[in-house]
Structure 1
């Protein structure tokens, strides 16, 4: 049976890997395991050991604490105006985020302002 903490950590691994544009294969090679193991970590099927989490954090250039952020149920929003309660698992949202940050900063700011105006008008 999956433990909620293992599922959360797995989601955070997938989120960071996705945002950084790293494939499961690339991450697996960096930490010296097979990509299938990364899949199992990301789904929470397998628990990530402390040493392996250390290696994954190093490969993804984050602190270990990153994987535990938002774990407290009280700090996670249940629903924000139709948004999924766990935006980290929404592939479309992550793709949008990656695309957004690939836009030059001045254009990104204007796009942000436009999105805010459109959401206020809806």
Structure 2
């Protein structure tokens, strides 16, 4: 055995952070090209960050957070919750980005109604 650790893919925390950055980017209505230009990297690099394929350095996370207006600590998984699981945060759930985009475009009365329906569905006896 060579002592080399087999590549097991991206670290779950890196994936979680990338998904959270993507959620903030979408919420800001910004595409990958614009974010990349603002933080002086290519849109391909932003893609890699958002997929967790490349880790985001502390300084880069600070720059991205400044552009997208969030606190850098807000993108990390909750301690004690497995990273990249649905419980780790809204941004880790498939379809959440599309839902958030649609929700943000709705008139206020529709958002209030949808939120009321969502709260009903989260109850265990609603199924």
Equivalents in 1 of 2:113, 2:14: separation in Å? 39
Return closer, same or farther for 1:91/1:5 CA change in 2, 3 Å cut-off: closer
> Following TM superposition, by how much is the alpha carbon of 1:117 offset from its aligned partner in structure 2, in angstroms?
4.9
- Partner residue, 1:51: 59
TM-score by length of 2: 0.72
Task: Return 5+ residue gaps in structure 1 as ranges.
Answer: none
Structure 1-normalised TM-score?
A: 0.74
Q: 1:103 to 1:50 in 2, by over 3 A?
A: same
Deviation at 1:91, TM superposition (A): 4.7
Structure 2: 5+ residue runs without aligned partners?
Answer: 1-6
Note if contact 1:8-1:71 (Cα within 8 Å) is conserved in structure 2: no
| Partner Cα distance (1:121, 1:7) in 2 | 32
Report the structure, 1 or 2, having the larger helix content.
Answer: 1
Shift of 1:27: 0.6
CA RMSD of superposed structures (Å): 2.8
TM-fit CA distance, 1:85: 4.8
Aligned length in residues:
116
Q: Which moved more, 1:98-107 or 1:48-57?
A: 98-107
Contact 1:24-1:38 within 8 A present in 2 as well:
yes
Q: Aligned ranges for residues 11-22 of structure 1 at < 5 Å?
A: 11-22=19-30
Partners of 1:113 and 1:71 lie apart in 2 by 26
